[in-house]
Amino acid sequence: MKKIAFQILLLTAVAFAGTGCEDDLKYSELVQDNRPAVPVTFTGATTYGFDPYYETSVAGGGNIKITLSIPAASGRTIKQITKVAAGATSINVLTLNTGPNYLTAPLAASGTTVEFTTTVKEFATKRPTVATTPVALPNFREIAFIFLVTLDDGSEVVATPVRVRILA
């Protein structure tokens, strides 16, 4: 009899433990995707695996052009690129908040796309500690950028980092 009573008590305790945190798990920040209401994408970027990336070549002049877009159906437009963090591929939102701004002034925009342009030479001048010379194997280096985009209603969106492969 004691064994049955103990099993019923144990079963009741397990049932309460299994349902006690349901709302906490359902609405916890730990289990939710952190997606912006208006996503920023990179037009023309290649997206194998991790971050999207563009390619440039030193022999071709080293020009870098990154096109940021938001969905036309969002009802919003891009007001400006407020801040850009640039560096090695380890940059993240913390770099955007604490590092120096790659831009000297916000980059104004209108519409649902905006182009950010720079060069490998300018990057090497602004971020001299990050290597930009292509290496023999695997025959490229990567640098990265992360953008703080301000929309027409004043809301801010941090885009995912984007990489630039520097080919020989």
Can you give the residue range of the structural domain that contains 23?
Answer: 1-32
Burial of 145 (0-12, 13-18, 19+ CB in 10 A): buried
- Same structural domain for residues 51 and 124? yes
pLDDT digits (tens), the chain, 168 positions: 667 766 777 777 666 665 555 555 555 666 666 778 899 999 999 987 788 999 999 989 999 999 999 999 999 999 999 999 999 988 999 999 898 999 999 999 999 999 999 999 999 999 999 988 887 767 789 999 999 999 999 999 999 999 999 998
Please state, in angstroms and rounded to a whole number, the distance separating the CA atoms of residues 57 and 27: 46
- Same structural domain for residues 129 and 149? yes
Please state, in angstroms and rounded to a whole number, the distance separating the CA atoms of residues 130 and 39: 29
- Same structural domain for residues 84 and 4? no
- Same structural domain for residues 8 and 66? no
Instruction: Give pTM, 2 decimals.
Output: 0.79
Backbone angles phi, psi at 8, to 5 degrees: -65, -45
Place of tokens 């971050």: 51
